[in-house]
Amino acid sequence: MTDTPHPWPVAVFAHNEARNIIACLDSLQAAASHPLACHVLANACTDRTEALVREYAADHPDVHLVSIALGDKANAWNVFVYEIASPHAAACFFIDGDVRAIPGSLDVMAQALAQHPQANGVSALPQSGRGVTAFQRDMLKNNGVAGNLYGLRGSFVERIRAQAIKMPIGTIGEDALIGAMLKWDLRGDTHWDNGRVVVAREAGFAFDSVSPWLPREWKKYFRRRVRYSVRGYQNRMLGRAIQPAGFAALPHHVRELYPRYPDVLGLEWRGLDTLFDWLAIQEIRSA
């Protein structure tokens, strides 16, 4: 008689993803031969996301709905890591609800972790989007982490819990912070080690790009560009907070960093991005 393997916990981040969530969940069914426990972290959804997940879960017992009132991905990440992820899992996976995993990707990512025992985490490669070739090249060169689909070694998640490290609420684009956790090995006094992340070349994810040329997408595209600029300023502040105090010194909410590092909010000419940087600075200052 053989023991049933512990399912791999999967965090599926969803905020108003009624258009994409079923395709995402379908892709996960084909992403692993190992049992999964897929937890859809529906944060502050006002569309049919939760209803669709409930209907889907009725026929897929490995899918579970987690309804979260606060609309914040960083908070949802904390909920998953501290309240849901199994302490016995060899790996935990994280995927955005608007992307689709390439078939077999989670198996490949788990194999990559097994083959690289020094790695704390594993990342999949993008297979779509503008500039995908450059994105892939940069990830492979720097052992980058794409927040759309990545995995953490189970023992690394346990270390996060043991050190009571939480992602500050309001953090945008958590992949940079995750990369820092992995490559600084949860410490603020050690060197940056790219070897702590492995990129699984045969694992990937796809998504539908937002087009700036379609009028119905303009508002979403504009907002996304502002958020990219806010993320850039946040990342600089987070880096300064972590070194050398360490990750346990991170604040409860990222806006607590804004008055600490006002000098970060400089404006330099970056072409069209300068406009979005200026708007991001106004948003940060009014937080």
CB neighbours of residue 35 within 10 Å = 11
pLDDT in tens, the chain (287 residues): 446 788 999 999 999 999 999 999 999 999 999 999 999 999 999 999 999 999 999 999 999 999 999 999 999 999 999 999 987 899 999 999 999 999 999 999 999 999 999 999 999 999 987 789 999 999 999 999 999 999 999 999 999 999 999 999 999 988 999 999 999 999 988 889 999 999 999 999 999 876 666 676 778 888 989 999 999 999 999 999 998 789 988 999 999 999 999 999 999 999 999 999 999 999 999 98
User: Could you tell me the two tokens for 11?
Assistant: 């965090």
User: Could you tell me the two tokens for 79?
Assistant: 């909920």
Nearest residue to 122 via CA among 196, 177, 199, 67: 199
pTM above 0.75, yes or no: yes
Q: At which of 207, 239, 273 does a domain end?
A: 207
Same domain, 164 and 259: no
Domain span at residue 245 reads: 215-285
Distance CA 102, CA 121 (A): 18
Within a domain: residue 3?
no
Nearest residue to 168 via CA among 255, 85, 81, 236: 255
Within a domain: residue 2?
no
CB neighbours of residue 216 within 10 Å = 7
What amino acid is encoded at 20 in this protein? N
Same domain, 80 and 99: yes
Beta bridge partners of 43: 68
Q: At which of 207, 235, 267 does a domain end?
A: 207
| pLDDT for the residue 185 | 96
Nearest residue to 212 via CA among 198, 202, 224, 200: 224
| pLDDT for the residue 111 | 98
Residues in CB range of 251: below 8 A, 6 or more apart? 168, 241, 257
Distance CA 212, CA 110 (A): 36
CATH code of the domain in which 64 resides = 3.90.550.10
In contact, 153 and 89? CB cutoff 8 Å = no
Number of domains in the chain: 2
Within a domain: residue 1?
no
In contact, 72 and 170? CB cutoff 8 Å = yes
User: Could you tell me the two tokens for 255?
Assistant: 């806006």
Same domain, 198 and 222: no
Same domain, 219 and 175: no
Same domain, 22 and 42: yes
Same domain, 224 and 182: no
Nearest residue to 267 via CA among 219, 233, 240: 233
| pLDDT for the residue 102 | 98
Nearest residue to 68 via CA among 55, 85, 49: 49
Length of the chain: 287
| pLDDT for the residue 28 | 98
Cis bond leading into 215, ω under 30°? no
Distance CA 169, CA 158 (A): 20
Same domain, 47 and 118: yes
Same domain, 138 and 279: no
Q: At which of 191, 207, 223 does a domain end?
A: 207
In contact, 233 and 281? CB cutoff 8 Å = yes
Under DSSP, is residue 211 helix (H, G, I), strand (E, B) or coil? Answer: coil
Same domain, 177 and 248: no
Distance of CA 273 to the CA centre of its chain: 23
Same domain, 67 and 126: yes
Within a domain: residue 15?
yes
| pLDDT for the residue 92 | 98
Within a domain: residue 199?
yes
Same domain, 182 and 241: no
What separation, in Å, do the N-terminal and C-terminal C-alpha atoms of the chain show?
58
Distance CA 112, CA 4 (A): 22
User: Could you tell me the two tokens for 106?
Assistant: 């989670």
Same domain, 135 and 230: no
Residues in CB range of 264: below 8 A, 6 or more apart? 233, 236, 237, 240
